[in-house]
Amino acid sequence: MLTALSIRNIVLIEELDLEFDAGLGVLTGETGAGKSILLDSLGLTLGARADSGLVRHGEAQASVAATFDTAACRDRIDALIGEQGIEAEPGEPLLIRRTLKSDGGSRAFINGQPVSAATLRDVGALLVEIHGQHDDRGLLNPAGHRTLLDSFGQCDVAAVSAAYGAWKRAREALDAARTDVTNAERDRDYLAHAIGELTTFAPEPGEEETLADARAAMQKGARLTDDLTSVTDLLDGSDGGIAQLRQAARRLDRIAPDHELLAEALSALDRAVIEASEAQDHLARATEALVYDPDRLESIETRLFELRALARKHQVQPDALADLLAEMQEKLGRIEAGAEGLVELERAAQAAQAAYGAAAQALSEQRSAAAARLDAAVAAELAPLKLDAARFRTLVEPLTEGQWSERGMDRVEFLISTNPGAPFAPLTKIASGGELSRFILALKVALAEEGGAQTIIFDEIDRGVGGAVASAIGERLARLAQSTQLLVVTHSPQVAARGGQHLLIAKSSVGTVTRTDVRPLDESGRREEIARMLSGADITAEARAQADRLLERV
């Protein structure tokens, strides 16, 4: 809801600060007083084109600031401005400001942070609808007609959305499976060959390290064989070192009792024999461990090199070859079972499509029924608004399958025929601005303001009508204003009398300076203004009495 508007240096408005109430607000004044300036100023904050001609003569810059209470549409506003990195404190109003330089440059701000004019238009569409001769937003935009009809008819869009989501997921699963099978079929020969090769080779985890260690040991044994043989020959045999030690120990054993030093020498020699025997055992085991078998070495090296070559071929580590074999076997198994799996997925996709089709068909029937009720409701509003020759129709027609969505299978558009026998056409084809506004009002009343902005502005909705029609317009505006803030630029006293807030737009001149001003009217001021609207420049007692009667009726 628009709560305040501050204007500086816009055409004839030098400085103006206005506050707005909820409900129905009316703006009146003599022709040429500047009502359009007020709407142009508000339009700037809603993203309208920045025209440097709006800057007051002699001034370098103009500015307009609008304040909105967004409690009724906070979530949508926060989501929209959040995309621009703008934060809004809960409960705080939304402040939109636009500056315009005389050279044509402009800047826009939301809550003090700069934004583009496009962002202003997106935000403005949620906040305000302006209906006049050249309006192409709000109810005139066919893009929103389906949502409005669904809200009016309380159509079960949620069920269709859920069914569409299930169908979409089933199709995606089927498409992914088809892609996998196609790719896998292309790889079948390669997989079969690779699996045969790996199965024949039969790699084992940790095999590379085992083979490398065995190869290194054999290579080391080849280098040490001669030395080991020489050392073994020195120790072994009847003439070897150990035999000589034992022979010396036997001879010393015969003479050891003759002297204590000889006994000690014998003990040392016995120990030497024991140590030498242990050394002989170690040499034997080392010789066995480092045994060099050229055939065995060649076999180990061949296996090791083939293992590493396979790993390079498949771009994995040697220890991963066994897992790769299992993975390839599983993939080949999926190929074999792929056709059967596709059949199941195709059945699931068909079932999901059928479920969506049933839900969407039910929604189409709901929309058709709702369209008939809406057509009747709008028709009931047309005659009192002097549109009795006009006809309204809600078009519900099927979309092609490629256009189906979570919103169903229908296109919805509001159409009118303004004269008997004339074909139905979109609302935007209406030539008369006043007629268009009355049509919008009839539709708004019939829809009970489903899904619209929280502030609606009607520019001269009563153009070309008076009397009972003007009264009917005023009554419907007042009814609509019970749930929505309405601002109406009017020349009709019947409409003005319905306003809860009355703003008078007046132009004055001092010397060569002309200014437009806007001021709220109290009860006495309202009576005088409505009397002026009834009688013209010379306000008569009868005009005041009639103004009193109009005010009393509401």
Q: Which pair of tokens denotes residue 386?
A: 């002097």
> Is 458 domain-assigned?
no
Predicted local confidence at residue 234, as pLDDT: 74
Contact 461, 438 (CB under 8 A): yes
Count of domains in the chain? 1
Q: Which pair of tokens denotes residue 142?
A: 């066919």
Contact 442, 382 (CB under 8 A): yes
> Is 229 domain-assigned?
yes
Predicted local confidence at residue 375, as pLDDT: 94
> Is 55 domain-assigned?
no
Instruction: Please give the helix or strand (H or E) that residue 107 lies within, else none.
Output: strand 106-110
Instruction: Please give the helix or strand (H or E) that residue 112 lies within, else none.
Output: none
* Alpha helices, DSSP H, located in 383-416: none
Place of tokens 């519900």: 396
CB atoms < 10 A from the CB of 40, how many?
Answer: 19
> Is 99 domain-assigned?
no
> Is 301 domain-assigned?
yes
Distance CA 494, CA 474 (A): 6
- What is the tens place of the pLDDT at every residue in 306-329? 999 999 999 999 999 999 999 888
> Is 261 domain-assigned?
yes
Predicted local confidence at residue 317, as pLDDT: 92
Q: Which residues share a beta bridge with 6?
A: 17, 65
Contact 455, 137 (CB under 8 A): no
Residue 236, phi then psi, degrees to nearest 5: -90, 170
Map residue 109 onto helix, strand or coil: strand
Distance CA 159, CA 489 (A): 43
- What sign does the dihedral 212-213-218-222 (CA atoms) show? positive
Contact 33, 61 (CB under 8 A): no
> Is 350 domain-assigned?
no
Predicted local confidence at residue 407, as pLDDT: 94
Predicted local confidence at residue 554, as pLDDT: 63
In a 13 Å sphere around the CA of 98, the CA atoms on its Cβ side amount to 31
- What is the tens place of the pLDDT at every residue in 44-84? 999 888 888 899 988 899 999 999 998 877 778 888 888 87
Predicted local confidence at residue 417, as pLDDT: 87
Please give the single-letter amino acid code of residue 372: A
Q: Work out the end-to-end distance of the chain between its first and last CA atoms, rounded to an integer number of angstroms.
A: 23
Range of the domain at 304: 167-340
Lateral strand order in the sheet of 425-426: 391-398, 410-417, 425-426
Predicted local confidence at residue 134, as pLDDT: 45
Where the chain has pLDDT below 50, the residues are 133-134, 136, 431
Predicted local confidence at residue 296, as pLDDT: 81
> Is 294 domain-assigned?
yes
